[in-house]
Structure 1
Amino acid sequence: MKAALQNYHARMQRVLDHIDRHLDDDLDLETVSGVAAFSKFHFHRQFTATFGLSVHRYIQLARMKRASHRLAYRDAQSVTEIAMDAGYDAPDAFARAFRQRFGQSPSTFRKSPDWEPWLAAFGPLDNARSKFMQKSFTTDDVTIRYVPPTPVAITEHRGDPATLGATIQRFIAWRTAAGLHPRTNPTFNVWRSERRPASPADYSVDLCVGTDQPIAVNGDEIKAGEIPGGRCAVLRVVGNTDNLEPAALYLYRDWLPLSGEEARDFPIYCQRLSFFPEVPEHEAVAELFLPLK
C-alpha cells in the first residue's frame, strides 16, 4: 500500500512539474491527465481530491503567480506581453482578472504592490504544492564545505514578513542600478529570526549580494557587510525554494545532533542559485548553509 501511494504521489508530482514547465502551452485536461497516465474522465476529480482545487484553478493561479512576479520584479516585459504569457487574449481581460484577484490593476501593482491580498490569493496554490509533496532529506544530502569570507551589500528587512515583497523590490532595483546581476554576483539570504516569529514585527532577514566593489552606504537602504568564512554544513534544495524551513529543520533537528558537530555563532543562510520566474518553480535551486565550529 505504501509503495502504491508513493507511486500515486509521484504521478501527481509529475503533473505539477509539467504544468510549471509548460505554462505557455495549452494545458487541456486530456494533455495533463496523460502526463499522469490517468483516465481523463476521472483525473479532474482525483486532482481536486488530492490538492483541494481543480486543475483549471491550479493552472490559473500558477500563471497568475508568474505574471505577478514579472510585474513586481521584472521591468523588461510590458503588461501586454505578461498578459499574453498568462494565457489571456487581451490586456483588458487580464487586467479584470488581476484586479478581481488582487484588488489592483496590473500597472498599479507594478508600481506599488499591495502584498497582503497577493499572499492570501496564493494560499491555495502554496497548499496544493506542499500537500503530499514534502521533501525528505538524508545525511547523504549534506556536505561539509569550507566557505571563504564573502563581502556583501545588504538590504535589511525588519518587520512583518507580509511586507517582504516591497523590500525585495528595493533590493532588486538597487542591485540592477549597481550592475550586480545574479549571473555575476551571488545572491544570499541571512535569516536572523524564525520564519514565523511569535510577533510578525520580530521577523528579520538580510538580502545580500556578493560584491568586491566598495559599497556606498545609503542610510537604511544599503549597508556593507560580510558573510564570514569557515566550515558549513550545506544542503541543496531543488524546487519550492520559497519555503526552506523544512530543509533548515532537517539540519537542526536531524543532521546536527547525529553529526557530532556544533553550530557556529552566525545565522543559517542560503545562496540562491536559480530563481523563479527565470526558471519553472520546481527547477529553482538554493543551497542552505549551517555555519559550523
Structure 2
Amino acid sequence: MNKTYKTRIDTVIQYIESNLNSRITLADVAEVSHFSPYHFHRIFTGIMGETVNDFIARRRLERAVNQLVFNPDMPVTQVALDLGFSSSANFSKAVKLHFGYSPSELRNPDKVKDSKIGKLFSKYGKEFQPSDLYPSSITNDVMNRKTFKDTNMKIEVRELERKRVCTLASERGYEPEGIYAAWDKLISWASNHGIMPGNQQRFALAFDNPAVTPIDKCRYTAAIVIGEETLVNAPFELSEIPNGKYAVLYYKGPVEETLNAQLSIYSDWLPDSGFEPDNYPMMERYLNDARSDGFVEMEIYVKLKEI
C-alpha cells in the first residue's frame, strides 16, 4: 500500500478511536484524512473493507460491550452515554441488532435462552456467544488441572521506560498467517540492521478484543525495540512505547489459552487493583518462538492509570 495512503488512513482511525464518545461527522473524518471529500469514502472502504459509518458503529459497539463486561457495576445508561448514544433504549437496540443479544444478556450469559442473528454474523461472518466474553477464572485450582500443568502465571505492576520501536502491522488482523508474515519480515529487517534475533526485544500491540471483533478486523502490530539512531523506512514505521505503569502478566502455556490469560487481567485483577486501563493498546512481549516450541512464553502488558 502507498505509504501516504496508509499514513492518512491510520490518522483517521486514531481520530475515530479518540472521539468514539462524541458525534463524529463524515465531513470531519474526511478533513482529517486530507483526501478529497468526494473520494475519501471510497478510499477508506477500499482499504479497510467496510464503510466509514460501519467502522465507527462497529468500534463504538465493541468498546461499549467491553465496558459492559469489565465494568459490571456501571449502569447500562452510563455506558450508553459515555459512548455517544442518546439513550439507553437506542443503545440497547443497537447492541441487540449488532450482536444478537441485549446488554443485560451480555452481562448474564447463563440466563440467555435464544437470540437473533446479529450483524456480527450476517455481515462479518463471526459466530458469537456472550459466554465468549468471560474467561475461565484463573485460580490455583485451575492451575493444577491437567490442561494447565505446564502453565505458570504471575502478575505485577511495573514501571516501563519509553522504548523506540520499528513496527509492521499484520495485513490479516489476528489470523496466524498474517501475524507470522509480519514477524518474519520484521525479524529479518532487524537482523539486517545489526539486531540479532537473540537480542531482539519483541512486542506486539493488540488493539482489539477478538471475542467481539472479527479476526480479520482485529488490528495487530509487531514491534522490535531499536536504538535512537536507527533509521526506519517503508513499509516499516517508526513508533514508540510510552513510559508509565503497566500491569504485567507472565504467561507460559498453550497458545489457545492466551485469550483467557489476557482477559483475566481485566476480569480478575483490575477491579480490585486501584487502577484502570489507560488509553493504550494491550501489548505482548514474546520470550520464545511458539512455532518451534509448541507453546508460548510471554509477558502481557496493560498500561495503567489510577482511578
Tell me the TM-score normalized by structure 2: 0.48
Q: Deviations over 1:72-105 (max 9, x none)?
A: 1113421001112232211111111111222221
Q: Deviations over 1:31-72 (max 9, x none)?
A: 111111111111111111111111011000111011000001
Task: Give the corresponding residue for 1:270.
Answer: 299
Distance in 2, matches of 1:121 and 1:274, equals 34
Inter-CA distance 253–124: structure 2 relative to 1 (3 Å threshold): same
Inter-CA distance 118–43: structure 2 relative to 1 (3 Å threshold): closer
AA aligned to 1:252 is: D
- For the residue of structure 2 that corresponds to 1:41, the secondary structure is coil
Once superposed, which parts of structure 1, at least 4 consecutive aligned residues long, lie more than 6 Å away?
A: 116-119, 132-136
Q: Deviations over 1:136-187 (max 9, x none)?
A: 7453598959xxxxxxxxxxxxxxx969xxxxxxxxxxxxxxxxxxx98934
Inter-CA distance 75–63: structure 2 relative to 1 (3 Å threshold): same
Please point out which of 248, 253, 261 is paired with 1:207.
Answer: 261
Task: Give the corresponding residue for 1:93.
Answer: 90
Q: How far off its partner does 1:191 sit?
A: 4.8
Task: Give the corresponding residue for 2:39.
Answer: 42
Q: Does the CA contact (< 8 Å) of 2:246 and 2:303 recur in 1?
A: no
Task: Give the corresponding residue for 2:251.
Answer: 190
Please point out which of 101, 115, 136 is paired with 1:104.
Answer: 101
Q: Where do 1:223-242 residues align within 5 Å?
A: 241=282
Q: Where do 1:95-174 residues align within 5 Å?
A: 95-112=92-109, 120=121, 131=171, 137=186, 138-139=189-190
Instruction: Give the fraction of aligned pairs with identical amino acids, expressed as a percent.
Output: 22
5+ long unaligned stretches in structure 2: 127-168, 201-209, 213-243, 270-278
Task: Give the corresponding residue for 1:252.
Answer: 289
Farther-moved stretch of structure 1 (27-36 vs 183-192): 183-192
AA aligned to 2:261 is: L
Inter-CA distance 76–105: structure 2 relative to 1 (3 Å threshold): same
Farther-moved stretch of structure 1 (84-93 vs 36-45): 84-93
- For the residue of structure 2 that corresponds to 1:204, the secondary structure is helix
Give the paired residue count.
191
Distance in 2, matches of 1:266 and 1:130, equals 21
Task: Give the corresponding residue for 1:233.
Answer: none
Inter-CA distance 50–141: structure 2 relative to 1 (3 Å threshold): farther
- For the residue of structure 2 that corresponds to 1:68, the secondary structure is helix
Tell me the TM-score normalized by structure 1: 0.50
Q: How far off its partner does 1:131 sit?
A: 4.2
